[in-house]
Amino acid sequence: MAARDGKIQIRVFGVAGEPLSAPASNSRIDESVLRLARLIGRQMAREQFERQQESHGSGRKKREPV
């Protein structure tokens, strides 16, 4: 990643190490960003759920992080 004019550029490389074309690169970046956002969202939901369970005095065991 390189910062230029306040923007971040992300370069995605193919299997052979050559940069992908712009449309292919953009779709892979979009896929990766959405996947990461889902993972972060799920983790946040898990933590919120655990806080709610603890505040309600639930007797369930706390789940071990993976």
- Residue range 19-33, pLDDT digits in tens: 666 676 778 888 888
The reply to whether 8 falls in a domain is no
Length of the chain: 66
Which 3 state secondary structure label does DSSP give 13?
strand
Overall number of domains in the chain: 1
Q: What is the pLDDT of residue 1?
A: 45
Owning domain of residue 34: 25-56
pTM (predicted TM-score): 0.49
Model confidence over 1-55: pLDDT tens digits? 444 567 767 666 666 656 666 676 778 888 888 999 999 999 999 999 999 999 8
The reply to whether 12 falls in a domain is no
Q: What is the pLDDT of residue 3?
A: 47
The reply to whether 34 falls in a domain is yes
Q: What single-letter amino acid sits at 6?
A: G
Contacts of 62-65 with C-beta under 8 Å, sequence gap 24+, read none
For 1-66, where are the E strands, in sequence order? Answer: 2-4, 7-9
Q: What is the pLDDT of residue 40?
A: 94
The reply to whether 30 falls in a domain is yes
The reply to whether 15 falls in a domain is no
| DSSP code of residue 10 | -
